[in-house]
Structures are given as C-alpha cells and as structure tokens.
Structure 1
Amino acid sequence: MKFTFVTLFSNLIEFYFKDSILKKAIEKDLIKYEFYNPREYSTNKHKKVDDYLCSGGAGLLMTPQPLFDTLEDIKSKNPDSYIIFPLAAAKPFRQNDAKRLAKKKNIVFVCGRYEGIDERVIEEYADEVFSIGEYILTGGELASLVMCDAISRNVDGVLGNSESLDMESYESDLLEAPSFTKPESFQNLSVPSAFLKGNHSKIANLKFQMSICKTKYYRPDKGKNNEK
C-alpha cells in the first residue's frame, strides 16, 4: 500500500515513519509513502497557495489552483488513488474505516492549512472526508498521520502477530479489557488472581465482564447489546 500526503509541511509527517512498526513495514515493502507540495504547482509568481475568503472574515483559505493541479498530477500517475480530506466538519473516523481502507492500493491525504481548503477542491476530488475528533487542529497533517497509522496496522503483515488485532477496543461493541504483566505484585498492587491460575475459560469470562465495566464507565453510549 502507498500513502501519498499532499502537504506544505512534509517534515511534520516524515519523522513518524523513521521508527517502530511503520519503519519495519517500509523495510518489508508492505507500505510506502510519498509527498506532494502544492506550492510547487502554484502558478502565482510568489508561489502563494492561499487567499482571502470571498465572504470576508478573518484568516486565509487554501486556494483551488495549486490543489487542483497537484491532485490531477497524482491521479494521472496513480489512477486508483483514493483521496481523503481530514476535516473538522466531517463524519468520524472509526476502526471499521481503518480496516476497510487497509484494502486500498493508494490512499491520498490532502492536508489543509490556514482556515481550511476551498470547498470546490473537496467537492471535486474527495472520495471521503473524515474527522478524528471534535476539536480543531492547526493543519491536516496530524489527522492524516492518525488515520495512516490506524490503517497501516490493518495491512496484512504489518503487525508481527495479526491475532493482536482481534481483541482490541472497537473490534466489538466493547472496549478492550485491562491487561497485566509481571511482576504479579508491585507496590501492593496485585494482578487479579484469576489471571494467574491458567483457567482460560474463567479468564475469558473475567475479561468479558471487565470489558463491560470499562465500557460503561468510559463509553456509556456503547456496549448496550451486552447488558443483561
């Protein structure tokens, strides 16, 4: 899979691929990434990519021409490109989206700046738009990285043990149960005794009950199908 980032600030993104799981995935040729800077496509003599809002008001907006030309170039080289815009005014990005998008060949993230992107660009090129939360960021780079990370770990072979995906939060209607490691006791805090006795049926049941409790506490809007 290839991730293409349309951004004015590639250095905000590239560092994330230099370590850990995504670095290993790149070394195994499971994922690739590239950058396109819309400033390089600007026909403005000063290479401007922003302008004032037609409606008036504070701030500047990314203007259509550089982005139109950038995205046309990307599509000409990669006809199967799937173009995503991270936006505040969009549907929430969910785990099911990450799993579904992991089957794409080339995902393009268009990272906005300033007060956002001229709506005509979005209407013309967006295959999907997503929000990663109900807050405002200074640009689309962080949101793109969040989605890229979530998608990448669902690409076959990226995680060393694919079974680790099965029991995670949001793989069902419940949040993931708490987990523990050695030592069994640390500063008078102990691991639940059932986890130490090797009865896998009891451990599974305890984890299920803990998932229900955790979901009710943190996300009371979820997990209703598991209430008795």
Structure 2
Amino acid sequence: MLHHAEPLFVDPYAGCLIDPTVQMDLKKYSHHYCLATKFIDDKLLHTVNNIDGLKQILGVGAKIPRNCMFLHVPLESSNIQQNLQAKGFNGNQPSIWAIQGLSIMTLASLEEILFIVSSLAMNGCLFLGELPALLAETEIGRKSSTEKWIEKLFMTNCFRVDVISYDEVASSLGKELARGDYKNILFVAEQLRFSDDQMETWRREFQRIEEEGDEEGFEEL
C-alpha cells in the first residue's frame, strides 16, 4: 500500500482560511491514520529495497517501486488463491502484505484473512497494517489484554506479531500524536510457516528423489 509522495494538487489559498492556531497544531501534531500510513509506506519501501529479485506487494495503493509486482487482494472473491495466481502471484517468491482501511467487523473475518495470508505468503514474509481495536476489545472485554490477545491470535495462524505504538512512530518523526481516541491497532507480523506453494514444491521434490532411489535400487538387483 504505497501512496504518491507528491500531493494531487496544491491550493495556495487554503491556508488563509485556517485559523493560525490550527495551522500550528497541524505542523506539530499528526493524526494516528497519517502516522500509520507513513509507517506502513516506510516499512514497505525498506523491505522492498532489501529483497533481491521480484517483489510481490499485496494490498491497496498507487505508487509501486521498480522490480515490484503489485496485486490488489480481492477479499470478496470466492477463491482468492486462484484469483491471485491467475494474476501472476507465486507462493514460492517473496511477498509483502499490507492492510489498512479495510472494514473488518467480526473475528471470523479477521481469522479468514490471517488464514489466507498464512497459506499464500512465503516463509519469512511480512504482513503489516492496521486492525480495528474494537474487535479485540469486544472479544476480551478490556484493553489491557489486547496485545496478548493479538499475539495469541496471530501465533495460532503461524505469525509472530509486534504491536506498534503510535506514540513511538510520532516520536521517531519528530511529531506529537494528535489528541483523541483512535480505534485501530498498528502491527507488523512475520510469517513463520511455509506457504502452500512451498510445501507442494518440496513434496514434488521429495517424491522425485524417492522415485529415483527406487529406480537405482531396482537396477542394482
């Protein structure tokens, strides 16, 4: 999920219509969503620049670095894996999965997304973005255990996850976090299992080795 570095247009008169104190606040404070978008973009770019060969980016966005293949994830599709493979996705190649702004209303929907990514993403690939905090709070009933709940949920689907602090992101950018509640959780997860494509590749290779061994043994007899 990458965005254009430059704005679509610049209105030189817009600032004249804003109260000076508000202008100062905009320069000093950053909204959670803006910080999350900046964090996700930077993480994607850093990861892409440190992966050799073709990179597959799964998510929603506009500007894609060179040597990358961007694929929109059609979550409404009846067969997401088949749909992605038809577009050229390869589970034996590195991929990066990003999610932001997606309406996830139930735990079942979140678990389905985790299952899909876990099945398709190659071992060691990243899955990052934002999830609705309300979903976690609804399931566990209190905010204090949200992080542990997320860690357990992701680990159940073979992901090691880190919950990212919006305050720390703001501080790293020399900003202060805007006041007010925000109902999302920023995260970065790493795939720990092998993708279905990797498992199938190794299954075929193991079968080939076994067949060659049987043929050699038969020839010796």
Q: Which of the two has greater helix per residue? A: 2
- Is the TM-score greater than 0.5? no
TM-score normalised according to structure 2 size: 0.28
TM-score normalised according to structure 1 size: 0.28
